[in-house]
Amino acid sequence: MPMTAKTLSRRGFVQILGTGAAAAALRLPDFKTATAAAATAPAVDKVVRLSSNENPYGPSPAAFDAMRDAFRLAWRYPDEHVDALVADLAKLHGVGTDHILAGAGSSEILKIAAAAFTGPGKPAVTADPTFEALARYASKGGAPVVKVPLTADYRHDVPALLKAAAGGGLVYVCNPNNPTATITPKAQVRELIAQAPAGATVLVDEAYHHYADSGDYETVIPLVHDHPNLIVARTFSKIHGMAGLRLGYAVAQPETLARLRDQQAWDSLNILVVVAARASLQDTGHLEKSRRLNRETRDWLRSSVGGLGYKLLPSETNFLMIDLKKDVAPVIEALKGRGVEVGRRFAALPECLRVTIGTRPQMEAFLGAFRGVMA
C-alpha cells in the first residue's frame, strides 16, 4: 500500500514523506527544528490550551533523537525495549524489575487497577474532588464509588477513607491532588497505608510528583517493599512532556502486579514512547529546567492573580486553583470565547478555576483574558 504524507503531530510541524516503492528513501523529520517549534508553538497557537496540565516545554531533545532513531524498529514488537525501560525504572526507584509494570499512560494503570481490585461489593474509595478516572472505570465495572470530601485545608481525610474501605476495595489517593494542586502530608499518607484494612488495596497516584517542593511531601514508592497492598502510579505525561505519546507505570510487589497484568492488553506500549522515555530519564537537566520554569511562571501568575484580589489554593503542581467566589462555568465559557481553554468545572469546587501553568507568554495571554472576563 503506498504511503501517503502524514503529519506526526497536531501542530503539523513534522512531515514524513514517502511512496511505497521509495519507502527506503523515507525522509526523516528534522527533529532539531521540531524541538524548537514545539517550544515556541504555544505562543503562536490560536487557542491557548491550559486545560490538561501538560508540560508546555515538551519532551527532551534527547527523546526526539531516540524516536527518530527508532523509526526503523517500528515493524517489531517492543519487548526487549520495554524490558530495558523497566530495568531503568527499577534502578531509578531501587526496586526489582519484577516490581514495575509499564502501561499506555497512567490511565491504563488506573483502568486495570479498577478492573482488578474493584467490582460489585468492592468499592472504589476516592477523595472529592480528585482525578475522576479511577472512579469512572470502577463504576463502569459495577463497583460502588464512595467519595470522601477533602478536609477544609484540601488534604485527604485519612480516617474517613479508612472507614469507607473497612470492607475492602481500592482506595485512590492522588498526591499531589488534581484538581486542588495540594498535597496530603507524608505522615498522613503513611498512616493510611499502614492502617489500610487487609482486604483493601491502596493506589497512590503520583502523576505530579516532580512538581512538589514541600518538605511535607514524599513519594511512597519505598513503602512498596513492606506493603503488598500498595500500588504507586507514575506517568511520563507531565514533567517528561510526553502526554501525546502515552506512557505510565505502576510500582508494586510482583503478586499485585500480576493481578494488574491479567487485565492489561498485550503489547499496549509503542516502541517510540519506550525509547523516548529511556532518553528522557537520562536528561535530568531537561526535567530540572521544566520544574524551574514551572515554578517561576507559577509564582508570577500567583502574585499577578493575587494582586487582582483573588485567593488561590497552595500549589505543588503545574496548575493553580483560583477561587473566583462565583460559579466558574460561565467564566470557562467566556475565556474559551477569548481563545483560552482552562480546566473543567469540578462539582465539589464549583467556584474554583483550574489553570495549567504554560509558558510565560501563554500565562500573559491567560491573564489578559481573565482580567477582561472578570472585569
Ligand X SMILES: Cc1ncc(COP(=O)(O)O)c(C=O)c1O
- Residues near ligand X, by CB under 6 A: 53, 105-107, 131, 174, 178, 205, 207, 235, 237, 243, 248
Residue 30 or 88: the one with the smaller Cβ distance to ligand X is 88
In the numeric block, the cell 499512560 is attached to 105
Dist. CA 92–CA 240, nearest whole Å? 15
Minimum CB–partner distance for residue 372 and ligand X (Å): 28
Dist. CA 288–CA 125, nearest whole Å? 34
Dist. CA 255–CA 250, nearest whole Å? 13
Residue 209 or 373: the one with the smaller Cβ distance to ligand X is 209
Residue 235 or 362: the one with the smaller Cβ distance to ligand X is 235
Give the SS3 label for residue 181: coil
* DSSP output for 7-36: ESSTT---EEB--STTGGGPBPP-HHHHHH
Residue 276 or 373: the one with the smaller Cβ distance to ligand X is 276
Minimum CB–partner distance for residue 241 and ligand X (Å): 11
Give the SS3 label for residue 309: coil
Q: Which pairing describes strands 145-149 and 124-128: parallel, antiparallel, or unpaired?
A: parallel
* Beta carbons of 62 and 281 less than 8 angstroms apart: no
Residue 53 or 60: the one with the smaller Cβ distance to ligand X is 53
Minimum CB–partner distance for residue 250 and ligand X (Å): 11
* Beta carbons of 251 and 43 less than 8 angstroms apart: no
* Beta carbons of 343 and 353 less than 8 angstroms apart: yes
Residue 233 or 312: the one with the smaller Cβ distance to ligand X is 233
Minimum CB–partner distance for residue 311 and ligand X (Å): 23
Residue 106 or 182: the one with the smaller Cβ distance to ligand X is 106
Strands (E), 138-235: 145-149, 169-174, 200-205, 230-235
Residue 207 or 365: the one with the smaller Cβ distance to ligand X is 207
The closest of 120, 132, 126, 122 to 150, measured between CA atoms, is 126
Residue 29 or 108: the one with the smaller Cβ distance to ligand X is 108
Inter-CA distances, 98 with 106, 253, 256, Å: 18, 7, 10
Minimum CB–partner distance for residue 246 and ligand X (Å): 7
CA atoms within 13 A on the CB side of 245: 25
Closest-by-Cβ residue to ligand X is 105
Other CB atoms within a 10 A radius of the CB of residue 68 amount to: 18
* Beta carbons of 53 and 318 less than 8 angstroms apart: yes
Residue 174 or 250: the one with the smaller Cβ distance to ligand X is 174
The closest of 188, 75, 171 to 123, measured between CA atoms, is 171
Minimum CB–partner distance for residue 100 and ligand X (Å): 15
* Beta carbons of 201 and 170 less than 8 angstroms apart: yes
